[in-house]
Structure 1
Amino acid sequence: MRLALFGPPGAGKGTQAKRLATAHDLAHLSTGDLFRAAIRDESDLGVRVASLLSAGELVPDDTTNAVVADRLETLGDQGFVLDGFPRTVAQAEWLMGHLAGAGKSLDAVVSLRVPEEDLVQRLSRRRTDAETGAIYHLDFNPPPSDLPPGRLVHRSDDQPEAIRHRLSVYERDTAPVEATLRAHVRYFEVDGTGALEDVQGRIEDAIAQDHGLAGI
């Protein structure tokens, strides 16, 4: 099973990608994780990515694609769930071509849908440990009781107005990517609200319908 999971900031795609990967022995491919691994390994790609990020620049499509290609090569025939990739139309087109070259394809694209105000509420309740970088949620994943309150930071990009801007940018930039994939891959919109188990169940029900993928 090869999936791509979409969703705006706060929709829970990272959490759901990890749950699906654990439940069904899929590799979880997050570009953020892949970048950090490449940097940690000090590979040529990692050095290139590190220099870009340290300069505050976006990682270009060809470099991102190369990092993803390296990881896909290590998977062999193991299935995967993509989280945060592809982010551009060029990346989407590269991904489909790369998989086709290996005689493979994406089985499904799942887009998590959550009302904007719910997303603002979710993200605005996040807090970051200034010392460790750990991220907590005041409602769903509260910080340890012994953590000094002064270490918890409400980041500027988790303020309501900043969140709304991020959401508008996501919709602007992601809509054409989803449209590109939708023209070639089975595409499902799934309600991303409610308990984690309920959302995961909806995802599995969606990709299993009339597609012979029950139980993936």
Structure 2
Amino acid sequence: MRVVFIGPPGAGKGTQCRRLQTELGVPHVSTGEMLRATKSDSPIGKMIADLIDGGNLAPDDLVMQYVVDRLKKPDCNAGVLFDGFPRTVNQARMLDVHLAEKGVPLDAVINLHADPKELVSRLLRRAEIENRADDTSDAIQSRLEIFHRRTKPVLDYYLQAGLVESVDAMQSTDVVYQAILDAIAKRTRN
């Protein structure tokens, strides 16, 4: 089972994927977490830190290399929950090519849609709780703009492929969780 989660920052992709990975028995792969973990004194780590802290996206080729490396691990053999990846149409195409080469297509794309004003509030609360440098007010606005400009077309790409199930992310966590399980079950029934 391979499922992509698309939604603006703060829509609950990570929260839901962390919960779903136990239920579904497949790992939660967050490119954002992978990239944040590379922050170090290395030149690549510094470049990534500067991009993320400024609310920008890392280069497609770099992100795809992280994903390919992660998919080689045995825990991904049964599937994966992609959290916030792909974020550009180019990344979506690269993922399609990679999965086609492996003979394992995507099963579903879950679109978590949410009210932008509520998202800003959620992200500012998360910044306080998790002490995340990339959740400043300016960075949040930048990330929301980037999402609408670059990532939303990914949704259109997957809509054309007939893979999208939409879920209202403004509901309670439990209601959203059940809606996602139902959508995945609908897509993976044979």
Relative to the length of structure 2, the TM-score reads 0.82
| Residue in structure 2 matched with residue 205 of structure 1 by the alignment | 182
RMSD over aligned CA atoms reads: 3.0
Residues 52, 125 of structure 1: alpha-carbon distance in 2 compared, 3 angstrom cutoff: closer
1:115: which partner in 2? 115
Q: 2:149 aligns with which of 168, 172, 175?
A: 172
Q: Which runs of 4+ in 1 moved over 6 A?
A: none
Task: Give the SS at the match of 1:85.
Answer: coil
Count of residue pairs brought into register by the alignment: 185
Alignment of 1:1-216 (within 5 A): 1-36=1-36, 39=38, 49-53=44-48, 56=51, 59-75=58-74, 77-128=77-128, 134-135=130-131, 157-159=135-137, 163-209=140-186, 211-212=188-189
1:175 CA drift (Å): 1.7
- 3-state SS of paired residue (1:105): coil
- Structure 2: which 5+ residue stretches go unaligned? none
Q: Which amino acid aligns with 1:21?
A: Q
Kindly indicate whether structure 1 or structure 2 has the higher relative contact order, using CA contacts under 8 Å at least 6 residues apart.
2
Distance (whole Å) between structure 2 residues aligned to residue 32 and residue 196 of structure 1: 21
Q: Shift of the alpha carbon at 1:163?
A: 4.1
In the alignment, the residues of structure 2 paired with residue 31 and residue 156 of structure 1 have an alpha-carbon distance, to the nearest angstrom, of 14
Matched residues, percent identical? 39
Q: 1:181 to 1:166 in 2, by over 3 A?
A: same
Partner Cα distance (1:69, 1:179) in 2: 24
Q: Deviation per CA, 1:58-116, whole angstroms, max 9, x where unpaired?
A: 53211211111011011352211001211111110000010000011110000111122
| TM-score normalised according to structure 1 size | 0.73
Distance, in Å, in 2 between the alignment partners of 1:33 and 1:88 is 17
